[in-house]
Amino acid sequence: MMKKLIAGLFLLFSAYATYAASPEIYPVNWWTGMKTNKLQLLLKNNDADFSKGQLAINYPGVNLLAVHTFENGKYLAADIEITAAAQPGNVDFIYTKNGKKSHISWQLKARKGTPGKDFAQGVSAADMIYFLMPDRFSNGDTTNDRVKGMRDQSLNRADYYARHGGDFKGIIQHLDYLDQLGVTALWMTPVMENDMPSRTEHGYAITNHYKIDARYGGNNGYKELSDALHHKGMKLVQDAVYNHTGTWHFIVQDLPSKDWLNQWPTFTGTSAREQALFDPHASAIDKKLMTDGWFVKEMPDWNQRNPYVASFIIQNAIWYVEEFGVDAIRVDTYMYNDLQFGNDCNAALLQEYPQISIFGEVLVQNTPNQVYFVKNNINTAFKSNLPGLLDFQCLFNGIVPALTQELGWNTGVIQLYNVLSYDYLYQDPTKNVLLLDNHDLNRFFSIVKEDVAKQKIAYTWLLTCRGIPQLYYGSEVLMKGETKPDGLVRLDFPGGWKEDTRSAFTGKGMTAAETEVQALVKKLGTYRKNSDALKFGKLMQFAPRDGVYVYFRYTDHQTVMCVMNTAKEARTIDLTHFNERTEGFSAANNIITGTAIKLNGSIDIPAMQEMVFELSK
């Protein structure tokens, strides 16, 4: 009798036995009240037969629409709908396999803040972006310099390819410095987890899309930085990497199916020949090499034509904005992404956040090629919906030749005039981001052979031209370096470490030239914050003559006149030539020096100098 009772209890227990399911779910959470209310969740379990089970949902207002399996039995994809009736809480997924059940909890949060007001505000020509590498700016918390269990344990400031220890706390400690420069938005190289064995200082080989790198401060540290920025009236720009990932990404290490990556028999790098994407004579193989070739061996190329991959990336992009209060998105290597995917991702972000800004990295060699990848006025079969981009053409074919070439009919500063004349091709060139340098380019101070006067002209132009100015950390204090080796353009900001003997934050140990350029940036950056003409004004430029380039930024209420002399001699300009913009004004205030002049015939401009005047009646 006792044996029968024990056997019965065993059968009863077995009927209610649970399956030991503890899958990871991506996105890791979502929110009620989102326009994006239909999601495709990716579930991953260590059980090779996980996909043989059945999934159900027991939560009011959340419906299971479909379940998908893959070649790899460790994965399931669940299409769900979060209806207006759903309330914040822990959604109960019920997983059943071989009669055994388990409950999987997935969080549905209440939204915090108002998009367009508290976050997802966008950046515009009224902003100034400061771009930095968090590992190289300031070390505010030495306890996270190395994180146990992560593959890269390097920590050596003498090695520019090792980690140096900079973090979010260090940035927060110096937000006042950015504010003094006139900065209104912060952009950092990617902060997502990069658990690669080496070269993790740059951040572009992501290994987990839902974790912020612990060496910077983790998810909580990123939220603290976002909150600190918004508290000071600044904005957060996310560096998004859609095209590729890191070899140690958990999905790459255990693919749901082979077609999640663009696969080749042997390693095949991208051709970097963007012409194949718009060339009417292009071959199919050239198009494939451009888009499907890998960036480098350590960065596998996502197959964005796979709808599961596209969903994974797009949902993650939206998740980051909502989770961390992102205001704008810079898209890495934009032209290497599948073009239709790029449009789909942009559209999804703008549908959820109409005021958010998106600008792409399009590193090409001439203006028509660049224009193809952004909203434009060109009649082509493919039309990009990308709102803005990093304006490398104004750099490569504009300000660089203006300050490095000998003056000639079509050399020197005329190139800057020429490149801006192509603005008719863009739908809105003011959404483009202007720059002098970044982590992949030679420092501008090295480009101009460490000529301080030319560096001053470059910054004066950057802060007065149309578009959104972007400063690269440290160039405002004459940091130099070239890309061979590339680590030389990624050195530490002076004063960001306690042991530093020089500090650009305090001026300690800085040279007179370094502080002069820094002071110029502060002067113009502060002025720009309150100048409607520089923030919102139209641009009118006059063809350069004898190395002198004159342009105006103006509204109905303010006119700013910029006079750039790139000649080796002083020049005198005849003001009557500019009557279209100067008529009705009798005086001008030099914004940089604070001196006033009369507009009564001519202005003398010293050699290799740019003056900025606010005109008055």
Which DSSP string do the residues of 468-515 spell out, in sequence order?
A: EEEEETTGGGT----SSSGGGGSPPPTTSSTT-S--TTT-TT--HHHH
Structure tokens at 31: 């929110």
**Domain final residue, candidates 109, 144, 159:** 109
The proportion of the chain whose per-residue pLDDT surpasses 90, expressed as a percent, equals 96
Within this chain, do residues 516 and 548 fall inside the same structural domain, yes or no? no
pLDDT digits (tens, 9 = 90+) for 41-72: 999 999 999 999 999 999 999 999 999 999 99
Within this chain, do residues 66 and 153 fall inside the same structural domain, yes or no? no
Query: Can you tell me the mean pLDDT for 537-549?
Result: 98
Residue 3 falls inside a structural domain: no
Residue 124 falls inside a structural domain: no
Residue 62 lies in domain: 15-109
Confidence (pLDDT) at 17: 56
- pLDDT score of 10 more than 60: no
Confidence (pLDDT) at 9: 39
Closest by CA position to 21, among listed 81, 59, 76: 76
Closest by CA position to 608, among listed 556, 559, 557, 568: 568
- pLDDT score of 5 more than 90: no
Active site annotation includes 428: no
Average pLDDT score, the chain? 96
Exposure string over 196-220, b if 16+ CB within 10 A, otherwise e: beebbbbbbbbbbbbbbbbbbbbbe
Within this chain, do residues 165 and 290 fall inside the same structural domain, yes or no? yes
User: How far is the C-alpha of 260 from the C-alpha of 275, rounded, in Å?
Assistant: 26
- pLDDT score of 11 more than 50: no
Domain containing 559 — which CATH number? 2.60.40.1180
pLDDT digits (tens, 9 = 90+) for 395-409: 999 999 999 999 999
- Helix/strand/coil for 50: helix
Residue 119 falls inside a structural domain: no
The proportion of the chain whose per-residue pLDDT surpasses 70, expressed as a percent, equals 97
Question: What type of residue sits at position 160?
Answer: Y
Confidence (pLDDT) at 18: 63
**Domain final residue, candidates 534, 565, 583:** 534
Confidence (pLDDT) at 429: 98
pLDDT digits (tens, 9 = 90+) for 240-254: 999 999 999 999 999
- Backbone phi and psi for residue 51, each to the nearest 5 degrees, phi listed first: -70, -10
Residue 350 falls inside a structural domain: yes
User: How far is the C-alpha of 408 from the C-alpha of 405, rounded, in Å?
Assistant: 9
Structure tokens at 101: 């059940």
Residue 340 falls inside a structural domain: yes
Domain containing 66 — which CATH number? 2.60.40.10
User: How far is the C-alpha of 265 from the C-alpha of 280, rounded, in Å?
Assistant: 28
Domain containing 157 — which CATH number? 3.20.20.80
User: How far is the C-alpha of 349 from the C-alpha of 304, rounded, in Å?
Assistant: 16
User: How far is the C-alpha of 223 from the C-alpha of 324, rounded, in Å?
Assistant: 6
Residue 115 falls inside a structural domain: no
Closest by CA position to 199, among listed 143, 251, 135: 135
- pLDDT score of 417 more than 50: yes
Structure tokens at 26: 């991506």
User: How far is the C-alpha of 289 from the C-alpha of 279, rounded, in Å?
Assistant: 14
- Helix/strand/coil for 194: coil
Distance from first CA to last CA of the chain, Å, rounded?
109
Residue 338: Cβ-neighbour burial (10 angstroms; 0-12, 13-18, 19+): buried
Structure tokens at 242: 């859609």
Within this chain, do residues 380 and 423 fall inside the same structural domain, yes or no? yes
- pLDDT score of 1 more than 60: no
pLDDT digits (tens, 9 = 90+) for 285-328: 999 999 999 999 999 999 999 999 999 999 999 999 999 999 99
Residue 104 falls inside a structural domain: yes
| pLDDT-based confidence at residue 22 (cuts at 50, 70, 90) | confident
Within this chain, do residues 563 and 603 fall inside the same structural domain, yes or no? yes
Within this chain, do residues 242 and 330 fall inside the same structural domain, yes or no? yes
8 Å CB contact between 469 and 444:
no
pLDDT digits (tens, 9 = 90+) for 218-236: 999 999 999 999 999 999 9
User: How far is the C-alpha of 384 from the C-alpha of 375, rounded, in Å?
Assistant: 5
SS3 content of the chain, % helix, strand, coil (to 5): 30, 25, 45
Q: Which listed residue (152, 338, 361, 391) is catalytic? A: 361
pLDDT digits (tens, 9 = 90+) for 428-474: 999 999 999 999 999 999 999 999 999 999 999 999 999 999 999 99
Structure tokens at 551: 């342009």
Active site annotation includes 486: no
Confidence (pLDDT) at 215: 98
pLDDT digits (tens, 9 = 90+) for 125-179: 999 999 999 999 999 999 999 999 999 999 999 999 999 999 999 999 999 999 9
Beta strands 559-565 and 596-598: pairing type? unpaired
Within this chain, do residues 101 and 163 fall inside the same structural domain, yes or no? no
How many separate domains does the chain show? 3
392-397: long-range pairs with CB below 8 Å, 24+: 392/362, 392/363, 392/364, 392/435, 393/366, 393/367, 393/419, 393/422, 394/419, 394/420, 394/432, 394/434, 394/465, 394/467, 395/434, 395/435, 395/436, 395/441, 396/365, 397/366, 397/367
Closest by CA position to 222, among listed 178, 186, 180, 184: 186
Q: Which listed residue (152, 322, 332, 476) is catalytic? A: 332
Confidence (pLDDT) at 16: 43
- Across the beta sheet with 559-565, the strand order is 538-545, 548-554, 559-565, 609-616, 587-590, 596-598
Within this chain, do residues 32 and 143 fall inside the same structural domain, yes or no? no
- pLDDT score of 6 more than 50: no
- Helix/strand/coil for 62: strand
User: How far is the C-alpha of 377 from the C-alpha of 386, rounded, in Å?
Assistant: 13
pLDDT digits (tens, 9 = 90+) for 197-225: 999 999 999 999 999 999 999 999 999 99
Query: Can you tell me the mean pLDDT for 507-512?
Result: 98
Within this chain, do residues 510 and 370 fall inside the same structural domain, yes or no? yes
Within this chain, do residues 459 and 567 fall inside the same structural domain, yes or no? no
Within this chain, do residues 497 and 573 fall inside the same structural domain, yes or no? no
Residue 91 falls inside a structural domain: yes
Within this chain, do residues 478 and 559 fall inside the same structural domain, yes or no? no
**Domain final residue, candidates 518, 534, 550:** 534
User: How far is the C-alpha of 434 from the C-alpha of 397, rounded, in Å?
Assistant: 12
